[in-house]
Amino acid sequence: MTSKRKDQICTLLKGIETGDAATVAVVNENKYIQHNPQTHEGSEGLAELFKRLSKSSPRVNIVRVFEDGDYVFAHTEYDFASSNIGFEVFRFEDGLAVEHWDNIQKRQGPNPSGHTMVDGSIEVTDLDKTETNRRIVQSFVNEVLINGQLDTLEHYIDDGYYTEHNPRIADSLSALRSALTETATNNSMSINYDRIHRLLAEGNFVLCVSEGSLKGIHSAFYDLFRVEESMLVEHWDTTEAIPPRSEWRNDNGKF
């Protein structure tokens, strides 16, 4: 069963298809903080964006949606002039959305194991393990992705039970280790995680929002993990370049 907030965000995002300004009613325009650098501040800016996007006959599919306290976060696919995969994060206050972050990447793949960027498990379970799973993902990102401690990979991933949705990487632990080793030694493929900004979780799903660089370009990394029996068993992600400050349409920053 979905919550009211989840339903409200799904309605809001589907409004991209219609351009209906009424779908942004869930947004408190007096408090709304927009972190998409390419979108103007406030719900009027959001309504204008939806109206513009609707002219290209877009299609929006909310694949997964989660709730963590005052936050609702969704895994989405968008078909505009091109196909994109995104994560959308909203913070609620007094029943209305007052803050928004996102991370969008062009659809790629399927990957060498045949998985797309959005297929796979969707069922939320283990609500009683939410905080434990949040800590597991935090530890993995800090140890492996930020500090490069690849010798600890086996502490987090079982080689026989891991599904990868990154378009470049296959399912196996050896494939993941190879990709992480390559990024550490090959500057042309260099992916550097510098810091975690936010960890959002509901049950067996944890979304980690991080900052770093891809091939020397300042970037945001959104990584969604599914956790089972204290191990990471499935992973989805998007990477988006952060435009230079001179191109921002609001002053709130990506994070």
Residues 134 and 187 in one domain: yes
DSSP state of 167: T
* pLDDT for residue 51: 84
- Does the pLDDT at position 187 exceed 80? no
Cα(207)–Cα(161) distance, rounded to whole angstroms?
20
CATH assignment at residue 223: 3.10.450.50
Q: What is the mean pLDDT of residues 64-77?
A: 98
pLDDT-based confidence at residue 217 (cuts at 50, 70, 90): very high
Among residues 136, 107, 255, 110, the alpha carbon closest in space to that of 205 is found at: 136
Residues 98 and 135 in one domain: no
pLDDT-based confidence at residue 186 (cuts at 50, 70, 90): low
Q: Is residue 121 part of a domain?
A: no
Which comes out higher in pLDDT, residue 140 or 189?
Answer: 140
- Does the pLDDT at position 196 exceed 90? yes
- Does the pLDDT at position 128 exceed 90? yes
- Does the pLDDT at position 43 exceed 80? no
Q: Is residue 143 part of a domain?
A: yes
* pLDDT for residue 175: 92
- Is beta strand 33-34 parallel, antiparallel or unpaired with respect to 96-106? parallel
Structural tokens at position 177: 């280790």
Residues 131 and 220 in one domain: yes
Q: What's the domain count of the chain? A: 2
Residues 87 and 162 in one domain: no
pLDDT-based confidence at residue 214 (cuts at 50, 70, 90): very high
- Does the pLDDT at position 49 exceed 80? no
- Does the pLDDT at position 189 exceed 70? no
Q: Which of 107, 135, 161 is the last residue of a domain?
A: 107
Residues 102 and 132 in one domain: no
* pLDDT for residue 108: 96
Its domain, for residue 206, covers 127-241
Q: Is residue 89 part of a domain?
A: yes
Q: Is residue 250 part of a domain?
A: no
Among residues 183, 254, 251, the alpha carbon closest in space to that of 220 is found at: 254
Residues 147 and 235 in one domain: yes
Residues 154 and 52 in one domain: no
Around Cβ 69, how many Cβ atoms within 10 Å? Answer: 10
Residues 231 and 199 in one domain: yes
Q: Is residue 202 part of a domain?
A: yes
pTM (2 d.p.): 0.94
Q: Is residue 83 part of a domain?
A: yes
* pLDDT for residue 129: 98
- Does the pLDDT at position 82 exceed 90? no
Average the pLDDT over each of 10-19, 99-108, 187-196, 208-217 and give the range with the smallest value: 187-196
% the chain with pLDDT above 70: 95
Which comes out higher in pLDDT, residue 49 or 187?
Answer: 49
**Residues forming a β-bridge with 214:** 191, 217
List, for residues 20-33, the tens digit of each pLDDT value.
Answer: 888 989 999 889 99
Residues 158 and 190 in one domain: yes
Q: Is residue 251 part of a domain?
A: no
Q: Is residue 118 part of a domain?
A: no
